[in-house]
Amino acid sequence: MDAPDDLPAAALETFPLTVAVVDDAGDILLTNRAWREFGRESDPESADESVNHVGVNYVATAAMAEDDDEYAERAVAGLEAVLSGDRETFAMEYPCHTPDRKQWFLMRATSFSIDDDRYVSVAHLEITERKLAELAAEEAAERARERHQTLEHVVDRIDGLVRDVTDAAVGAGTRDEVERRVVRRLVDTEPYVLAWIGRVDVTSRRVSPREWATTSDLGLEDGDLTLGDDDSHPAVEALETGDPVVIDDLESFAEADQWWPVGASTGFHSVAALPLTYGDVTYGVLVLFADDPNAFADRELLVLESLAGTIATAMNAIEARRMLTTEAVVEIELEIDDPGLFATQIADALDRSVRVRGLASEDGTPIAFVYVDDAGVDAGTVSGLEGIANATTLVTYEDGTLLEVALEGGLVPILSERGAVLQGLDAADGQATLVLELANGQAARAIYDVLEDRYDVVDLRSYHERERPARTPQDLAGTLEQRLTDRQQMALRKAYLADYFEWPRNVSGEELAESMGISRSTFHQHLRSAQQKLLEELYDGDTVSRS
């Protein structure tokens, strides 16, 4: 069957893209339905007959566009080339935005001939969805490139910062030098404009800046910050909580103008405070100000936390070296008001004053040797107290009793883990007085903080730094601890604390052996071995060759 003559025109009407056919002069001869509908949408006030644009010169209309319309200029040049026969086809993409939406089209002009007459079909296809997707992809790629460049910059900056701060901390010979080098290096890194490191005075609990550096002319004044009283300051909060504290926008923080240096008025916009902590010892606080809000993002804060740990580790190493060479020790006296302290519990339960004469550990169980001012003490009364696993009578004197008290934790492991040496612990009338010897002020600060967190009221009554002998009892104790077995240590300690070496004796070797769950002969064997090693340490320099 032959196709109808009007089939091409009818088919053209069904196309979803706008199509016009022009002659070699550029006049529109034919448009399809999509063209006409688009014309009515673009110019709703026109009559229906005018939107088919038949008879309108397409090229002349395009040329009437604004002079700076590069798309119109390209369209005219391309159409003229096709109409003149210089090229068979021409295609271009162009925007055609309306006040309501953005849209893009693809125009394609293709020449064809009928009976040697040249015609050109001009089709317009909307490509808005594809164009929006392409633009979104380009924007995403640009953002990715910017993030990559930013990340490269951050990585380079952080890598250099970590390396230099680590070198500064590890290479310093004193704690002051660590602080000085670190703050100077930090302010050389954008966006930090001020860095200071503060320490806490053990007795007054006052936070004071020891070293600082800044990129401005502003001097750092010694402010009046005290733990427990200035919780709004990030340095105090970091020391109190043990966690970093960040304020992203100082202008919106009311208390900032009360700090030194004055925050918002000096051009500083954000601040971070990080405690310098190694184990249970806090050496101070690092405070950084930046000239940008939100300067301390999560990645930045992780790096600074790592640096704070490095700084504290370097300080700990320096303090450890100093402890090996210095002859100074710190002695603190604390008053503890808490009914949960084991010595206070015993004193309250027996209604007597008590004194802890020594501490030990047996098979991992903390042991306290407690003297009570009463010869008729019932150890069973003590055994039932909270936190006390067991209590036995070790020696009975004319005016008192020495108890061996097995504890379930508490004070003894706290002191042991932190290197504190018990010099005295007395309890009476609901209060206890604790005297400790420690290696330095930081250790004293750390033990005070731990005890303050654990007990109701802890008051620092005295703080003394004093010289120690060339070889302290603690040095001898440390050497004996390495040489004596656990049983030998316990036998020697019990014998001494129970006045076994006094005359007349208040306790027999058989009683001490029974308290250790061993035979009398085994007890004496442990005791003699311990005495032998003790005398070797006192009188014989060659302690390694003897058993």
Please give the residue that has the higher pLDDT: either 275 or 418.
Answer: 275
Instruction: For each of the domains in the chain, give its residue range(s) and CATH number, in order of start.
Output: 17-126 (3.30.450.20), 150-325 (3.30.450.40), 328-539 (no CATH)
Residues 528-543: pLDDT tens digits?
A: 888 887 777 765 543 3
HEC string of 8-63? HHHHHHCCCCEEEEEECCCEEEEECHHHHHHHHHHCCCCCHHHHHCCCCEHHHHHH
Tens of pLDDT, residue by residue over 483-493, are 788 888 888 88
pTM over 0.85: no
DSSP 66: -
Instruction: Give the burial class of 221: count Cβ atoms within 10 A of its Cβ; 0-12 exposed, 13-18 middle, 19 or more buried.
Output: exposed
Instruction: Take residue 389 and report the two structure tokens written for it.
Output: 């696993």
Cα 443 to Cα 278, 282, 315, 322, 376: the distances in Å are: 11, 9, 12, 13, 40
> Residue 270 is which amino acid?
S
Q: What percent of the chain has pLDDT over 90?
A: 8
Q: Give the pLDDT confidence of 361-388 residue by residue, as tens digits.
A: 777 788 888 999 888 888 888 888 888 8
Mean pLDDT of 50-62: 79
**Residue 433, pLDDT score:** 92
More confident residue, 145 or 406: 406
Interval 245-270 mean pLDDT: 65
Burial class of 8 by CB neighbour count within 10 A (0 to 12, 13 to 18, 19+)? exposed
Q: Is the dihedral of CA 201, 204, 205, 210 positive or negative?
A: negative
pLDDT band at 264 (very low <50, low <70, confident <90, very high): very low
pLDDT of amino acid 2: 54
Q: Span 515-525, mean pLDDT?
A: 85
The distance between the two most distant Cα atoms of the chain, rounded to a whole number of Å, is 143
What integer is the mean pLDDT of 142-152? 70
Q: In the predicted model, what is the mean pLDDT of residues 514-531?
A: 85
The residue-averaged pLDDT of 263-281 equals 75
Q: Which one has a higher pLDDT value, 247 or 253?
A: 247
Give 469-498 as a DSSP string.
-SS-HHHHHHHHHHHS-HHHHHHHHHHHHT
Evaluate if residue 9 carries a pLDDT over 80. no
Measured distance CA(224)–CA(238) in Å, rounded: 16
Predicted local distance difference test score (pLDDT) of residue 109:
92
Beta bridge partners of 405: 368, 391
User: In this structure, what token pair is assigned to residue 53?
Assistant: 């644009």
Instruction: Decide if 122 contacts 128 (C-beta within 8 A).
Output: no
The predicted-structure confidence for 316-351, as pLDDT tens digits, reads as follows 877 767 665 556 688 889 999 988 888 998 999 899
Per-residue pLDDT of 169-185, as tens digits, reads: 777 778 888 888 888 88
pLDDT exceeds 60 at position 152? no
> Please, which pLDDT band fits residue 236 given cuts at 50, 70 and 90?
confident
Cα distance between residue 385 and residue 349, in whole Å: 8
For helices 520-539 and 473-483, the axis angle rounded to 10 degrees is 130
pLDDT band at 88 (very low <50, low <70, confident <90, very high): very high
369 close to 392: Cβ distance less than 8 angstroms: no
Amino acid symbol at 147: R
* Residue 357 confidence (pLDDT): 86
How confident is the model at residue 267, as a pLDDT? 61
Q: Does the pLDDT value for residue 544 go beyond 70? A: no
